[in-house]
Copies of this chain bind each other. A is one copy, B any other.
Amino acid sequence: MKKWMFFSYFLTFQAGFGLSQVMLSEEVGISPWGPDDEIGTLNLMSDQSRLEVLSRIGSGKIYDLGVEYFVGMPSFHALGDPAYKIWMTHTPKGTLIDNPNGMGDAMNAKVSYTGDAISMYTHMGTHIDALNHFGLNNKIWNGFSVDEYLGDKGWKKTGAETIPPIIGRGVLIDVLALKEVEQLPENYRINSSDLKSALEKQGTKLEKGDIVLIRTGQARHYEHADQYLDNYPGINLDAVKWLVEDQEIMLLGADNLSFEAFPPEREDNWVPVHTYLLAEKGVMFIEQMNLESLAQDKVYEFAFIGSSLKLRGASAAPMRPIAIPIQ
């Protein structure tokens, strides 16, 4: 979301929508998987569930659902988070000048050394949000509190290192194809009817434990940050409630930044879809995926295989999941 949009939205917001809306109160969820649970609905995975989907693989063609990291890539900076940076720590010619290993010209002219370093907000590129990313009232999923568990290097609970490798049945819901438009309207909120219609059009049925990836088409603009971030469409509360409560999906994903649409639907919560999924229901989701090749080939069911980096304590982690068509 672009900075000016972000703040102009806030201005509007603060001018106030009335109190006509009746809103349910929001509270963090307590896990049905016990007081030590840190992974929420990913508990739905088992050796059996994984084997089931892996056994259905019928192709060696794979779909790469991850995007590239590069200087200038689109990401969320409205609240001051760092942009992606990469820089050279060693180059063949620099090594010759610097002689950092003390081995001199002949060696360093011959052995051409390249090294590089990166820095980034953890919520960049294709990444999964950990359950600690958004909580309610100083607690996160399963009641873990800031006072007990948040240190200077991240959370002692539900950090990205706790997220297991994820294998499951993946389903693509292609909302852009459903609408038969070039581009979804600005800030369009995808709702449960859209999802149902798209599934029907595709001839796809959801199952408990599914990994549901929603295509808005925004990934087509990924190389152009301004366009990618410009009033993008997202998923609304109604849609995620239907997915989580009726369809009992395990994990969500989308191809836009922030998954949900802005401005938010509640006046008392600027990221209601985030808090609903992460804090209330223990459902993680993946942002900024590339779903274009799946859509192009009309691959709606697949084995989803992905494992995020184990960044200890982190509120998110990058990953590069793949999809393999199943029979």
Residues on A close to B: CB < 8 A? 6-7, 10, 13-14, 26, 46-52, 54-55, 57, 59-62, 64, 66-72, 78-83, 85-95, 97-98, 100-104, 106-107, 109-123, 125, 132-140, 146-156, 161, 164-165, 167, 268-271, 275, 279, 305-316, 318-322, 324
Contact = CB atoms under 8 A, between A and B. Distances in A.
Given A70-B312, A308-B320, A165 B62 contact: yes
Contacts of A275: 111
Given A86-B311, A119-B119, 14 more contacts: A6-B101, A14-B102, A48-B60, A51-B57, A69-B310, A88-B152, A98-B153, A107-B269, A114-B140, A116-B315, A117-B119, A117-B120, A309-B309, A310-B320
Contacts of A311: 68-69, 86, 118
A267 to B, nearest CB: 9
Contacts of A140: 112, 114
A118 B112 CA distance: 25
B270 A111 contact: yes
A97 B150 contact: yes
B81 A117 contact: yes
Contacts of A49: 60
Interface of A is mostly: mixed
26 contacts: A10-B102, A54-B54, A54-B324, A55-B57, A66-B307, A69-B309, A69-B310, A69-B311, A70-B313, A79-B100, A81-B90, A81-B115, A86-B153, A87-B117, A92-B150, A97-B152, A106-B268, A111-B136, A115-B133, A116-B314, A117-B119, A118-B120, A118-B122, A305-B305, A306-B307, A307-B322
B80 A153 contact: yes
A303 to B, nearest CB: 9
A114 to B, nearest CB: 5
A134 B110 CA distance: 10
A45 to B, nearest CB: 9
A275 to B, nearest CB: 6
B60 A146 contact: no
A268 B324 CA distance: 46
Contacts of A268: 106-107, 110
A117 B316 CA distance: 9
A143 B87 CA distance: 23
